Structure 1
């Protein structure tokens, strides 16, 4: 069995917009639940919640999920919530999927940019001649909300797939947990699932992959894909576990305390930190270089410190090692960099 495409991320710890939190607070209010309790567990004001440009850490959304589940953590509530997530909920990411030529194209696109979604369970889509399976990995989701999020995320995925191709039906569906609220399962998925299975897994007819999507548009999907690429590049660069490591390196002034020390500050093992950075598309060494380059440029730009002083402040034992590293980062020596910025500051306005 071959994987259709690997998901872009292996963990839920990626930044998100506020649309999902807004949807959950509205869902709670409509059900007569105290929606204010959901927003209270975040750092968001109602104004920020309504701003589509605001980005939040995944843990803020997780806190809202946990608060909602404490108010009503039933299977029926989780499934109904999942059905509220439509393709339009995901903004440009959703429009790209809708505009894709076929269901296969849409699924590959969604997996490639999965960190533009609001999911916590990571999907793996596998294909062989007679079976297309979608399995949700919840192994890293906190246990107290794992069942709630499995149901919410799978219900959302199936709902969005039907937005793309209304005739989609599931051939089989299995969950690890036990049965409850069977009517809600049938309403959401169109069949009675099996329970007590080894994984959360949905099975579809692989012939669906080649079906043309009714709203396919080559120009629209190309435009949306370009915007998604730019958005996800910014998010992956400056957020999540990478940003947590950056912040600690900056506090140390760019001095490399070692990966073991940074991992300890994050309450992670060194192996786990290395794996999570790899999943985020970077490495500890790359982040050290990035922080050191940024700090070096800022220090050199002051015009006050010598190259030797900057090297010392960044933790280099010898200035020559710093000069070699700086030239590798920027293509010029620190002295040449400082001269260039000094000349730019002294140039008359308009020149």
Structure 2
């Protein structure tokens, strides 16, 4: 069966919070009051909520690579301080048991992130909470998984106590060079290159009561989450995902429909059909992303125009200049001079 093209969306607020966390972490700055927000407890407008999950995972990977923080996702999870009234903090504050909190988490996770499978599974004397992102082929998902599962572990420990322990953790991502930090944060063995990303634990944990349980607040909180649940199928964000993919693909010489289809886990024919269904034309979108990337490179780097043309896949600088002039009504050199000069007051 052909893989279904659905790329999830995280809320714009959650994206802002993660970016804010990285801003401080990458500078080794942690606010003294630990004033980092968690996932939002409100549903943003549909227009604001369509930040590509594909783009978010790549943002984390890029930030980790550029900063040299090989464990950025873990750092973010550990810096997200204190209980909150988010979907994580709220459920583990008010639910009567760990099992009820995890069941509600699996049900209401689409409130904060779609395109994700969250499921509580019990069989053969074991239990696990699965967190899998749909259709991120070719994308480094380690930092997102570490961030999400790390936050969940912190919520569990706040609700149950420090004596609680995992059996092990599985991550559907290649093993990093250093694995010790993951074992230290999760306090359990961590298996990489697994089929599923999941927390594994004893079924007995599910019946363990939560010290701060409040049945009335739990019912109110679940009713609040129920109202925020997406109505039916969330609109697909293929164009947003393609844009995020193209930004990287054009600079790697892979910006073709065949490569896009391979990275999204479908055949080129299926990709063409889905694009047609959503009235998206691959080549015009690619041309627009190329020009937007060119504008960024001209204004933010000192690369020669010839080198920028080469990085964006143009066979000749003159072809790049013609395309850029057609898009902006300026030559690359004139655009750079205007960008460097800044606005005229």
Write the distance in 2 (CA, Å) between the matches of 1:174 and 1:228. Answer: 28
Task: Check 1:80–1:175 CA distance in 2 against 1; reply closer, same or farther (3 A cut).
Answer: same
Unaligned runs of 5+ in 2: 30-39, 240-272, 283-345
Residue 157 (structure 1) aligns with: 152
Per the TM alignment, residue 130 of structure 1 is displaced from its structure 2 partner at its CA by: 1.4
TM normalised by structure 2 equals 0.55
Corresponding residue for residue 64 of structure 2: 72
Give per-residue Cα distances to partners, 1:106-148, cap 9 Å, x unaligned.
1111111111235865333210251012333234125333222
Distance 2:95 2:88 in 1: 11
The correspondence for 1:98, drawn from 78, 93, 102, is 93
- How much does 1:174 deviate? 2.9
Return closer, same or farther for 1:116/1:261 CA change in 2, 3 Å cut-off.
closer
Q: Indicate whether 1:171 and 2:163 are aligned.
A: no
Cα deviations by residue, 1:33-68 (Å, 9 ceiling, x for unpaired): 89xxxxxxxxxxxxxxx9966443343565354334
Alignment partner of 1:57 is 2:53: no
Alignment partner of 1:265: what SS? coil
| Matched residue, 2:222 | 225
CA distance in 2, matches of 1:33, 1:121: 31
Compared CA separation, residues 160 and 266, structure 1 to 2 (3 A): farther
CA distance in 1, matches of 2:154, 2:236: 30
What secondary structure is seen at the aligned counterpart in 2 of 1:111? helix
Distance 2:140 2:19 in 1: 15
Q: Which of the pair has more CA radius of gyration? A: 1
What is the aligned length?
228
Displacement after TM superposition at 1:81 (Å): 1.5
> 3-state SS of the aligned residue for 2:190?
coil
Per-residue deviation, 1:90: 5.7
Q: Which residue of 2 aligns with 1:194?
A: 191
Please say which of residues 55-64 and 204-213 is displaced more in the overlay. Answer: 55-64
Query: Is the deviation greater in 161-170 or in 191-200?
Result: 191-200
Moved more, 75-84 or 100-109: 75-84
Q: 2:106 — aligned with what?
A: 111
Distance in 1 between residues matched to 2:227 and 2:74, nearest whole Å: 32
Residue 122 (1) aligns with residue 122 (2): no
Distance in 1 between residues matched to 2:129 and 2:233, nearest whole Å = 30
Q: Decide which structure has greater helix share.
A: 1
On the 8 A contact 1:136/1:200 being kept in 2, the answer is yes
Hey, what's the Cα distance between the residues in 2 that align with 1:266 and 1:209? Answer: 46
Residue pair 1:121, 1:153 contacting (<8 A) in 2 also:
no
Task: State the Cα distance separating 1:190 from its structure 2 match.
Answer: 0.4
1:204 to 2:201 alignment: yes
Distance 1:162 1:11, change over 3 A: farther
Contact residue 97 and residue 221 of structure 1 kept, 8 A = no
Distance 1:91 1:136, change over 3 A: closer
Gap runs ≥5 in structure 1: 1-9, 35-49, 245-258, 269-351
RMSD: 3.8
- Partner Cα distance (1:243, 1:194) in 2: 32
How far the C-alpha of 1:98 sits from its partner, in A, is: 2.1
| TM-score after normalising by structure 1 | 0.54
Residue number in structure 1 paired with 2:139 = 144
